[in-house]
Structure 1
Amino acid sequence: MIYRLLCLLLLSSAPALAMGPWKSDCHGDTACEVGDRSYHVLEPDGWDGETPLPVLLHFHGWARQGNVVVNHERIAGATKLRGVLLVAPNGLGKSWNFWSPETGDVEFANRVLEDVAQRYPIDPRRIYVSGYSFGGAMAWRYVCQSGNDTAALLAIAGSIRQTEDCPQAPAQVRHVHGTDDTVMDFPFGPGGDTTYPVALWREKYNCNGATPRGDWSVRPFLTLSRVEWTDCAQGQVTLDTHPGGHFIPHGWIGWQLDELLGRTPTYP
């Protein structure tokens, strides 16, 4: 499938680039309007105003809005330092409708990305989709059925049902979840299987054999355990688990972006 955003850029970005650096009249706490809805966007530190940017499309948690995302140390703090454009849509009623395929939020997110592409020179080959809690589940829903190819899913403490049938998949999946999470409960599999949170993608990619990658951490008070599935007919799946509850682990988003961008992982 050809990512329709690439088509949009091929049609619209070249003339705009010829006119000089791109500028947007909305960023940070000032929301960008898309019809009767809106989103927030934050440029990375030191951006020259011209170089095409990777994008992290991040869906906020329940009772939040995108302005929280663009000011969040563990989200915006990661994108600003890595040359990534942060895009944070605003959910209706400060929430997301991810429960079934019949949701208007997927198409809304598509319109957001199309609007972003009109305002900024973005790299359509490096569109990363992320979210936390309800937003994590919305990120799963988006990559499952947006009609667009995406480079990676970076989901935190939230997912859709593992029994769903997704018509499409991102090139790579990365998911993190705490085993003591009682808000978006850790989805243990049969017999207490801790690899079940990514069962949907393992089946979608036709993966064989889990490969433990050991423990890792960026802060001494939280250790994560990583398992990967790389022997797949398509794609790759990475699962990080930790013994904590419902939160965004320090450094997790930055670590994933570094690996996806071919950088040496660092904190922050």
Structure 2
Amino acid sequence: MIYRLLLLLMTATPAFAIGPWNTECHGDTACQVGDRSYHVLEPDGWDGETPLPVLLHFHGWARQGTVVVNHERIAGATKLRGVLLVAPNGLGKTWNFWSADTRDVPFADRVLEDVAKHYPIDRDRIYVSGYSYGGAMAWRYVCQSGDDIAALLAVAGSIQQTETCPEAPAEARHVHGLRDKVMDFPYGANGDATYPVALWRGAYDCHDATPRGDWSVEPFLTLSRMEWTDCAQGQVVLDTHPGGHFIPHGWIGRQLDELLGRTPTYP
């Protein structure tokens, strides 16, 4: 019996022999980091060896990481694109993103460090995302600890555009509804609809915006895109839509496709 078990382990494929890497915490079962926790979800069909891009996603207010790893518009996107989804749990089901003096940034750093102990991650492809309060937390995180982050993918939440950030991701992408009444669309002076990304445009020393037209993945919602690519460093993408406070269908998947050099698909 022991001989047969050893033979099975020796001849097993890498994914069978070692995956999931985090056998004690996976999906709905949280991983502990000190007195806090996070959730992790592997992509479909992962071979157990290939380094994985990472999407660190901060949940919305009154939620936890369990929602993220089961969310069609978040986990549904990462599972199909070979991306490891990491979802930290906020204290009291919320985040302290209001100022640089927050315990949540070093906590997220520890989460990524712990993930790297259990999975082979592609350190050049670490993306940070979030929705609502989580979107604001994603902004706060890359503002304080973003120099090693490939891209910010923020949904309907941000920090004050007048802040000065000591660090920055390689690029920033943001989507916001023009009729958002939960975290209001941050119009600038004279109704400037590009103001939601003013902080990064300034940090990257960007100049003229380039309209990229409208796009959609569902007929009932059209998004309009503006890009800033003439920056001294980095680039900025802003998608707006006429709706309210939600994660647009296909938005996270499209951003990942573009960042990973894939032809955009839905879902």
TM-score scaled by length of structure 2: 0.92
The residue number in structure 2 matching 1:105 is 104
Structure-to-structure mapping, 1:189-228, within 5 angstroms: 189-228=188-227
Residues in 2 aligned to 1:62 and 1:148: alpha-carbon distance in whole angstroms: 26
The residue number in structure 2 matching 1:10 is none
Shift of 1:146: 1.6
What are the superposed Cα offsets for residues 61-107 of structure 1, whole Å, 9 maximum, x if unpaired?
00000000000000000000000000000000000000000000000
The residue number in structure 1 matching 2:134 is 135
What are the superposed Cα offsets for residues 126-156 of structure 1, whole Å, 9 maximum, x if unpaired?
0000000000000000001026410000000
Shift of 1:226: 0.1
SS at match of 2:110: helix
Shift of 1:118: 0.5
Residues in 2 aligned to 1:45 and 1:71: alpha-carbon distance in whole angstroms: 14
> Which stretches in structure 2 are left out of the alignment for 5+ residues?
1-13
Larger of the two Rg values belongs to structure? 2
The residue number in structure 2 matching 1:4 is none
Shift of 1:249: 0.1
The residue number in structure 1 matching 2:31 is 32
> Are 1:86 and 2:98 matched, yes or no?
no
The residue number in structure 1 matching 2:65 is 66
The residue number in structure 2 matching 1:54 is 53
TM-score scaled by length of structure 1: 0.92
Identical aligned pairs, as a percentage?
Answer: 82
The residue number in structure 1 matching 2:75 is 76
Residues in 2 aligned to 1:67 and 1:148: alpha-carbon distance in whole angstroms: 28
Residues in 2 aligned to 1:251 and 1:88: alpha-carbon distance in whole angstroms: 19
- Opposite residue 72 of structure 1, the aligned amino acid is H
> Which stretches in structure 1 are left out of the alignment for 5+ residues?
1-16
- Opposite residue 213 of structure 2, the aligned amino acid is G
Shift of 1:264: 0.2
Question: Deviation above 6 Å: which 4+ runs of structure 1?
Answer: none
CA RMSD of aligned residues (A): 1.0
- Opposite residue 260 of structure 1, the aligned amino acid is L
